[in-house]
Amino acid sequence: MPRSRSILLIALLAAGTGCAARAPEERVSAAEAPRTLLRVDNRNFYDMDVYLVRFGQRYRLGTATGNGTSTFEFPSQLVEHGPVRFVASPVGAAGRTFTEELDVRPGDVVSVEITP
Protein backbone atom coordinates (compact mmCIF):
# COMPACT_ATOMS: atom_id res chain seq x y z
CA MET A 1 0.00 0.00 0.00
CA PRO A 2 1.65 3.29 -1.03
CA ARG A 3 1.76 6.08 1.47
CA SER A 4 0.21 9.38 0.60
CA ARG A 5 1.35 12.87 1.43
CA SER A 6 -0.40 16.19 1.15
CA ILE A 7 1.65 19.35 0.77
CA LEU A 8 0.24 22.85 0.64
CA LEU A 9 2.63 25.04 -1.32
CA ILE A 10 2.99 28.29 0.54
CA ALA A 11 1.59 26.96 3.85
CA LEU A 12 3.44 23.61 3.50
CA LEU A 13 0.82 21.51 5.23
CA ALA A 14 1.88 17.83 5.14
CA ALA A 15 0.12 14.67 6.24
CA GLY A 16 1.18 11.09 5.52
CA THR A 17 0.19 7.53 6.09
CA GLY A 18 2.41 4.47 6.49
CA CYS A 19 3.55 2.22 3.69
CA ALA A 20 4.44 -1.42 3.45
CA ALA A 21 8.17 -2.00 3.25
CA ARG A 22 9.83 -4.37 0.79
CA ALA A 23 12.80 -6.45 1.90
CA PRO A 24 16.07 -4.90 0.65
CA GLU A 25 17.09 -8.10 -1.17
CA GLU A 26 13.91 -8.09 -3.24
CA ARG A 27 14.46 -6.45 -6.59
CA VAL A 28 11.59 -5.18 -8.72
CA SER A 29 11.74 -5.12 -12.49
CA ALA A 30 10.94 -1.87 -14.27
CA ALA A 31 7.56 -3.27 -15.33
CA GLU A 32 6.68 -4.08 -11.69
CA ALA A 33 8.07 -0.88 -10.16
CA PRO A 34 5.46 1.12 -8.25
CA ARG A 35 4.26 4.34 -9.86
CA THR A 36 5.39 7.51 -8.11
CA LEU A 37 2.92 10.35 -8.66
CA LEU A 38 2.55 14.06 -8.00
CA ARG A 39 -1.00 15.46 -7.96
CA VAL A 40 -1.19 19.23 -8.27
CA ASP A 41 -4.36 21.13 -7.36
CA ASN A 42 -3.64 24.49 -8.99
CA ARG A 43 -6.06 27.05 -7.57
CA ASN A 44 -4.11 29.88 -9.15
CA PHE A 45 -5.21 31.65 -12.35
CA TYR A 46 -1.82 31.02 -14.00
CA ASP A 47 -0.75 27.74 -15.58
CA MET A 48 2.31 26.49 -13.68
CA ASP A 49 5.37 24.66 -14.96
CA VAL A 50 6.11 21.99 -12.35
CA TYR A 51 9.58 20.63 -11.58
CA LEU A 52 11.09 18.05 -9.29
CA VAL A 53 14.41 19.23 -7.82
CA ARG A 54 16.92 16.69 -6.55
CA PHE A 55 20.47 17.63 -5.47
CA GLY A 56 20.08 20.98 -7.28
CA GLN A 57 19.12 19.36 -10.60
CA ARG A 58 15.69 20.32 -12.02
CA TYR A 59 13.50 17.78 -13.83
CA ARG A 60 10.43 19.17 -15.60
CA LEU A 61 7.31 17.14 -14.86
CA GLY A 62 4.85 19.17 -16.95
CA THR A 63 2.37 22.04 -16.81
CA ALA A 64 -0.41 22.26 -14.23
CA THR A 65 -3.36 24.08 -15.78
CA GLY A 66 -4.72 27.07 -13.86
CA ASN A 67 -7.81 26.36 -11.75
CA GLY A 68 -7.44 22.63 -12.37
CA THR A 69 -5.93 19.40 -11.12
CA SER A 70 -3.04 17.65 -12.88
CA THR A 71 -1.26 14.37 -12.16
CA PHE A 72 2.35 13.71 -13.11
CA GLU A 73 4.20 10.41 -12.99
CA PHE A 74 7.94 10.59 -12.56
CA PRO A 75 10.71 8.00 -12.56
CA SER A 76 10.99 6.29 -9.18
CA GLN A 77 14.80 6.36 -9.40
CA LEU A 78 14.64 10.15 -8.96
CA VAL A 79 13.42 9.67 -5.39
CA GLU A 80 15.35 6.59 -4.25
CA HIS A 81 18.34 8.39 -2.71
CA GLY A 82 17.95 11.69 -0.91
CA PRO A 83 15.29 14.33 -0.46
CA VAL A 84 13.47 16.15 -3.24
CA ARG A 85 11.47 19.34 -3.52
CA PHE A 86 8.80 20.43 -5.99
CA VAL A 87 8.88 23.86 -7.67
CA ALA A 88 6.07 25.60 -9.55
CA SER A 89 6.73 28.59 -11.84
CA PRO A 90 3.88 30.56 -13.43
CA VAL A 91 3.84 30.50 -17.22
CA GLY A 92 4.22 34.05 -18.55
CA ALA A 93 4.80 35.65 -15.15
CA ALA A 94 7.62 36.14 -12.67
CA GLY A 95 8.08 34.26 -9.43
CA ARG A 96 7.92 30.69 -8.22
CA THR A 97 6.80 28.68 -5.24
CA PHE A 98 8.27 25.52 -3.79
CA THR A 99 7.84 22.86 -1.14
CA GLU A 100 10.21 22.05 1.66
CA GLU A 101 12.53 19.07 1.10
CA LEU A 102 10.59 15.81 1.23
CA ASP A 103 11.55 12.17 1.57
CA VAL A 104 9.51 10.61 -1.21
CA ARG A 105 9.77 6.88 -1.88
CA PRO A 106 8.90 4.89 -4.99
CA GLY A 107 5.15 4.24 -5.02
CA ASP A 108 4.24 7.40 -3.07
CA VAL A 109 1.49 9.74 -4.18
CA VAL A 110 2.35 13.34 -3.25
CA SER A 111 -0.41 15.96 -3.40
CA VAL A 112 0.33 19.67 -3.56
CA GLU A 113 -1.99 22.62 -3.67
CA ILE A 114 -1.00 25.89 -5.28
CA THR A 115 -2.98 28.69 -3.68
CA PRO A 116 -4.15 31.84 -5.50
Domain ranges within the chain, ordered by starting residue:
1-15+46-116
pLDDT in tens, 22-59: 444 455 555 677 899 999 999 999 999 999 999 999 99
Write down the pTM of the prediction: 0.73
Rounded to whole angstroms, how far apart are CA atoms 64 and 80? 24
pLDDT at 11 (0 to 100)? 33
The closest alpha carbon to 54, from 90, 79, 25, belongs to 79
pLDDT in tens, 75-86: 888 888 789 999
Residue range 64-78, pLDDT digits in tens: 999 999 999 998 888
CB 38 within 8 A of CB 71: yes
For 26-102, where are the alpha helices, taking DSSP H only? none
